[in-house]
Structure 1
Amino acid sequence: MLHHLEIYVSDLKQSYKYWSWLLASLGWHPYQKWEIGFSYKSREAYLVFVEAEEDYKEAGYHRKRIGLNHLAFHAQSKEQVDELAAEMKSRKERILYESQYPFAGGPAHYALYGEDPDRIKVEIVAPAL
């Protein structure tokens, strides 16, 4: 199950203008809004749009440039997150924020962060504590 998808954009006002009407038309509702971003939610999944920093607006993929920032998925339990972390280690896959695992996202956010071969960040989130 998808938890959320965050997309960095080059111009927040233009993105808001486009996505707000489209997502509202599809039954999504506003979820969050702040100076450099906004989100829309449908059931438990939500989409986040954030304006990229000037230094990251140049061409080429990076999770902080325009485009996909990361994919986040629901896990069934904290144990499943731990099992996936162990499997990532055994496969020699890159784990992000390893020294802060499993609370890199904060004390109430039990999650694993990794990167795929193209350096796209992947997040696996346990149910809320």
Structure 2
Amino acid sequence: MIHHIELYVSNLEKSKSFWSWLLNELNYTVYQEWDRGISYKHGDVYIVFVPVEDGFDEPNYHRKRVGLNHLAFHAQSKEQVDNLAKRMKQKGIRLLYEDRFPYAGGSEHYALFAEDPDRIKVEIVALEC
């Protein structure tokens, strides 16, 4: 079981804006918050966001380089996936594979794919398929 994940972000406020509402929708709660970071917890697992240290912000993150490809989260239902997709569009969040939504991951994989402010791919998968 994963204990926690910590991500460096380019702009903490932009990341908080994106992740706070999304993780709240997925039943995470704020776990810790300090002037240089924030974490969200669900069960025993938590995710931490902190600003990248000066001098380490180049090159920018890209999921196709060595390292993290994406984070995938469980949704409670297909309806939740649909609702999150609609809200992300309203918020101007970039959706990935929109032309194949909700089956971009395959005909039996009901999911939403989007990017956070640093272009980290986020996947929300319906539990019922």
TM-score range, shorter chain: 0.5 to 0.7
In the alignment, which residue of structure 2 is the partner of 1:85?
85
Contact 2:77 2:128 in 1 (8 A): no
- Report the secondary structure of 2:106's partner residue: coil
TM (normalized to structure 1)? 0.53
In the alignment, which residue of structure 1 is the partner of 2:125?
125
Runs (4+) of structure 1 exceeding 6 A deviation are: none
In the alignment, which residue of structure 2 is the partner of 1:68?
68
Percent of counterpart pairs with the same letter? 67
1:96 matched to 2:115: no
In the alignment, which residue of structure 2 is the partner of 1:116?
116
Contact 2:73 2:124 in 1 (8 A): yes
Give the unaligned 5+ runs of structure 2. 6-58
- Structure having the higher Rg: 1
Contact 1:113 1:122 in 2 (8 A): yes
Give the unaligned 5+ runs of structure 1. 6-58
1:106 matched to 2:111: no
Give the Cα separation in 2 of the matches to 1:63 and 1:94: 15
Q: CA RMSD in A?
A: 1.8
Aligned-pair CA distance for 1:77: 0.2
Aligned residues: 73
Give the Cα separation in 2 of the matches to 1:108 and 1:88: 23
